[in-house]
Structure 1
Amino acid sequence: MATSSATAPGAIPAAGSRQAGILLFFAALVAFATFDAGSKQMLMRYPAPFLNIMRYLAVATLALGLLWRHGWPDLRGAPQKPLLILRGLMLATVGTCFMTALIWMPLSEATAIYFTSPLIMVALSPWLLGERVRPVQWAAVAAGFAGMLLIVRPGADLPALGTLLMAVSAVSYAIFQVLTRKLSGKVAGPVQYAYTAFICLIVTALPAPFFLPDPWPDLTDMALIVGLGACSGLAQILLIAAFQRVSAATLAPLNYFQLLLAVAFSTFWFQRPPDGLALTGIAMIMASGVFLALRRAG
């Protein structure tokens, strides 16, 4: 599950190598895609709530490191606290729905539906951000949603519950992105990140005791699960480093590399390649998203 610039603590370009920043961003996308594929593999043996809590333990550990590095900023006195809490709840919803949907959904189609979130954000922006959306942008949004319909069309043999959960995940992440835009420049990046990490940890901890694995993972599987959590944490670190070197507008179109990785993992790892119509839908979502990202960057 990608988190893009929205979860990078303070996505503010700084002096540094542009090329290094782009490479770091690609490395983060590889780490996110590997986490998603590895999680789907582990879901064949272990409950989704258990894997989720393990993931956010790693993310919360990273948040503690960031707070320490920035001198332990005051979380209780942070401005815009209701929006910070809502933002964290949205990402917790994303993580819960995404992980649960992967139990049934093919990785490529699930990731493609998730990547409609930038299109949803554009569609919501006139009402939630007061931004004007031009006709050409609406056309791109419509094309992207048409692509999603090709993926979830009748006869596509996708589970209804998994598809619904992925749609909820995409909408929740779009709202998360809108809230990030609202908080930009008002709340320090490490504070935003910590709020999100700790809220996700709390929310995913609530169902975890009722879904403990039976049998408990052996040493090999536990090492793999911990490694997946570390992979997610590493992806966050790489994102932070990338956004310190390169602007978010420059990196946004590159996000769809992760969707290509999801198609590759689904095809070669899980032996579940998308069919021709689904591939067409994925291409339409990618083209629409890249167009909107380039339009915003310009």
Structure 2
Amino acid sequence: MTSAPQRSQTAGYVFAILTFAIFACQDAISKHLGALYPPVFIAMVRYWIFALFTIAMAARFGGGLTKAARARRPWLQVLRGLVLALQVVCAITAFSTAGLVQTQAIMAVTPLLVAMLSVPVLGEHVGWRRWLAIAAGFVGVLVILEPGADFLESDLVVPVIAALLLGLYAILTRLAGREDAPMTSFLYIGVVGAASLSLIGPFYWTPMDGEGLFWLAMVCLTSLSSHYCFIRAYEHLDAVLVQPISYMQLVLATAIGIVLFGETLHLNVAAGSALVVAAGLFTIWRERVSRQKAVIAPKA
């Protein structure tokens, strides 16, 4: 008979797998919509629904909505919300221009960006092994991008910006998490994102037909369900256990891009992605080892 901790961990892995599987489907729908409608408009409507979801979740939080909205550093939470909203717009744009395969390959560098930024922003120590992994990961990105004289005019600029923004958002989230509850951070990304995009999105308002409305509803549904699963996964698992599973999104999104959208997995993208993923997994593993040592050291 399995113990309660084992059942809890199993549930955590199930929710984590569901999270990144749904994220991959959400990216595919976003690619489809982004090719037909302005990405800012799509992101705005998606954020309206997401904001209602975060408010409803926060209202059920211990202490209610008022307590959840009380941040130690509101400016940091607002900045997180703005960065993520911009990242979502860039990601939708990238999916429809550069494609799912290349965009996901480039965005797989996020854990390496977080490790690198953790030194100046969080004051954390990164050992030489992780620095080598970070360097190897960025070599993998260069292999994917094959930058040349015309790189700034290519479709790959937006995915790079999206990856940088996602890394910045992740590091700001870790910084905010030192003082604020997860529900506070969750509430702010929904409300700030919806408010900021509502200032710009109406200028891109585009009438939608029945099919467009259906897929818009689907992207909203996947957004809500993926974030719900994400929250549940973190209730049962530590972040270092969830992060490696995130690379499943790269595999699934790549498969969807090839099968449904006729994209091509070029050799340089496959080789670069393998290097980035290997470096990312090693970095995550080393971070886990470092944290375990930090916990054990005071007891020694």
TM-score (norm 2): 0.88
Which of 85, 95, 110 lines up with 2:103 in the alignment? Answer: 110
Once the two structures are superposed, residues 195-230 of structure 1 have per-residue CA deviations (whole angstroms, 9 ceiling, x without a partner) of 1111111222222122122xx222232022111111
Residue 144 to residue 259, structure 1, CA distance change in 2 (3 Å): same
Residues 168-179 of structure 1 aligned to structure 2 (within 5 Å): 168-179=161-172
Looking at structure 1, the residues matched to 35 and 159 of structure 2 have their Cα atoms a distance apart, in angstroms, of: 18
Larger Rg: 2
Q: Greater shift after overlay, 42-51 or 71-80?
A: 71-80
Structure 2 counterpart of 1:87:
80
* Structure holding more helix per residue: 2
Deviation at 1:16, TM superposition (A): 5.4
Which of 213, 226, 231 lines up with 1:222 in the alignment? Answer: 213
Looking at structure 2, the residues matched to 159 and 204 of structure 1 have their Cα atoms a distance apart, in angstroms, of: 26
Write the letter of the residue equivalent to 1:28: T
Residue 74 to residue 161, structure 1, CA distance change in 2 (3 Å): farther
Residues 1-298 of structure 1 aligned to structure 2 (within 5 Å): 17-70=8-61, 71-74=64-67, 77-154=70-147, 160=153, 162-213=155-206, 216-298=207-289
Write out the 4+ residue segments of structure 1 that deviate beyond 6 Å after TM superposition: none
TM-score (norm 1): 0.89
Once the two structures are superposed, residues 149-173 of structure 1 have per-residue CA deviations (whole angstroms, 9 ceiling, x without a partner) of 1111048x98845422222222222
Residue 99 to residue 178, structure 1, CA distance change in 2 (3 Å): same
Is contact 1:116–1:285 with CA below 8 Å preserved after alignment?
yes
Structure 2 counterpart of 1:6:
none
Once the two structures are superposed, residues 25-72 of structure 1 have per-residue CA deviations (whole angstroms, 9 ceiling, x without a partner) of 111101111010111112222111111112112211210111211122
Unaligned regions of 5+ residues in structure 1, if any?
Answer: 1-13
Unaligned regions of 5+ residues in structure 2, if any?
Answer: 290-300
Is contact 2:13–2:233 with CA below 8 Å preserved after alignment?
yes
Write the letter of the residue equivalent to 1:194: L
Is contact 2:58–2:68 with CA below 8 Å preserved after alignment?
no
Structure 2 counterpart of 1:3:
none
Looking at structure 1, the residues matched to 98 and 198 of structure 2 have their Cα atoms a distance apart, in angstroms, of: 24
Write the letter of the residue equivalent to 1:196: I
Is contact 1:151–1:277 with CA below 8 Å preserved after alignment?
yes
Write the letter of the residue equivalent to 2:203: F
